[in-house]
Amino acid sequence: MEMLPKYIVKPPFRFVEQYNYTFKTHSKKRWFNRKLIDIISSEFRSYPIEYYKEIINTGEMTVNGK
């Protein structure tokens, strides 16, 4: 069962408490024979490339659990 995020209420605002989210995707043919960092930096542009390099190096981002 998925837990709902917690909220912090500071009137007149309501903030969502930070939480982890596991994003899963299936590979696409255009990704074959490309480096992970090249795929992530071109397809998922929400964060700068330095962020993706860090989470790959620390093991926070995995492919097939590795």
Pairing of strands 13-16, 7-10: antiparallel
As a whole number of angstroms, the distance between CA 66 and CA 43 comes to 20
- Do 37 and 49 touch, CB atoms closer than 8 A? yes
Residue with tokens 């069962």: 1
Against a cut of 0.75, is the pTM above it?
no
pLDDT at position 1: 57
Angle subtended at Cα 65 by Cα 61 and Cα 66, rounded to the nearest 5 degrees: 75
Q: What is the pLDDT of residues 16-57, one digit of tens each?
A: 988 777 878 888 999 999 998 999 989 988 899 999 999 999
Angle subtended at Cα 42 by Cα 40 and Cα 47, rounded to the nearest 5 degrees: 65
